[in-house]
């Protein structure tokens, strides 16, 4: 039992038409406005915010010199007066004085669940293979094989979506008392 080239061409055409229809539907939907949330003031000093962090921990820093720019760095060391951060492709650590810091944010970690991805891909591939074998039985069986193959294709397309955790939220570790921090969630 094997799939003929005509059956594979019909299957590929159906998947192409379905993917094109999904793309057209996505292009016509309007994107919602980004939600803007004012984060509450945190009263802890920067020393206690950085107390449990180890070198290499990722931080987002906002300084009073340029409050519209978020600087992402990896913690190198912290002293009573300054924070030393390593940035990619820089040899020397960047030094931020604690008096100049408006906000220290710990970014949320988005987890990728590899097993969910692999299982969804395997199931989708298995369903498509089963549909191919079903279509090879007879010409009438192709009628039933096409919807089954489409379901398998949708499972493969859904694999990346099923494997990402969207619940990761940033945490404000320190905020200067005179500042208001607004974060937009896309």
- The residue with greater pLDDT, 178 or 39, is 178
**Confidence check: pLDDT of 19 > 60:** yes
- The residue with greater pLDDT, 26 or 159, is 159
**Confidence check: pLDDT of 151 > 90:** yes
Does residue 58 share a domain with residue 13?
no
Domain that holds residue 94: 50-110+167-179
Please, which residues have CB within 8 angstroms of residue 75's CB and are 6 or more apart in sequence?
Answer: 50, 53, 54, 55, 56, 57, 58, 59, 83, 84, 85, 86
Beta bridge partners of 63: 101
| 158 occurs within a structural domain | yes
| 58 occurs within a structural domain | yes
Residue 138 pLDDT: 83
pLDDT 10s digits, 32-74: 555 555 555 555 666 666 666 778 878 888 888 887 888 888 8
Give the CA angle between residues 119, 120, 121 to the nearest 5°. 90
Does residue 134 share a domain with residue 63?
no
Does residue 80 share a domain with residue 150?
no
Question: The pTM is what?
Answer: 0.46
Does residue 175 share a domain with residue 86?
yes
- The residue with greater pLDDT, 35 or 97, is 97
| 44 occurs within a structural domain | no
How many CB atoms are closer than 10 A to CB 138?
9
* Distance from C-alpha of 132 to C-alpha of 84, rounded to nearest angstrom: 59
If you average pLDDT over residues 118-134, what whole number do you get?
Answer: 91
Does residue 135 share a domain with residue 65?
no
Using alpha carbons, select from 37, 40, 78 the residue that is nearest to residue 56: 78
């Amino acid at each position: 039992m094997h799939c003929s080239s005509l059956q594979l061409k019909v299957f590929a055409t159906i998947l192409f038409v379905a993917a094109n229809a999904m793309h057209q539907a996505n292009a016509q939907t309007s994107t919602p406005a980004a939600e803007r949330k004012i984060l509450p003031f945190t009263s802890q000093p920067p020393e206690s915010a950085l107390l449990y962090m180890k070198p290499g921990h990722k931080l987002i820093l906002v300084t009073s010199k340029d409050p519209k720019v978020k600087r992402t760095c990896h913690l190198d060391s912290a002293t009573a007066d300054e924070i030393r951060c390593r940035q990619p492709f820089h040899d020397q650590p960047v030094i931020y004085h604690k008096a100049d810091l408006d906000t220290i944010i710990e970014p949320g970690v988005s987890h990728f669940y590899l097993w969910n991805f692999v299982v969804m891909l395997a199931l989708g591939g298995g369903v498509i293979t089963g549909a191919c074998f079903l279509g090879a039985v007879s010409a009438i069986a192709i009628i039933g094989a096409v919807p089954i193959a489409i379901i398998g294709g949708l499972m493969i397309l859904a694999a990346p979506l099923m494997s990402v955790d969207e619940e990761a939220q940033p945490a404000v570790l320190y905020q200067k008392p005179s500042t208001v921090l607004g974060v937009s969630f896309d």
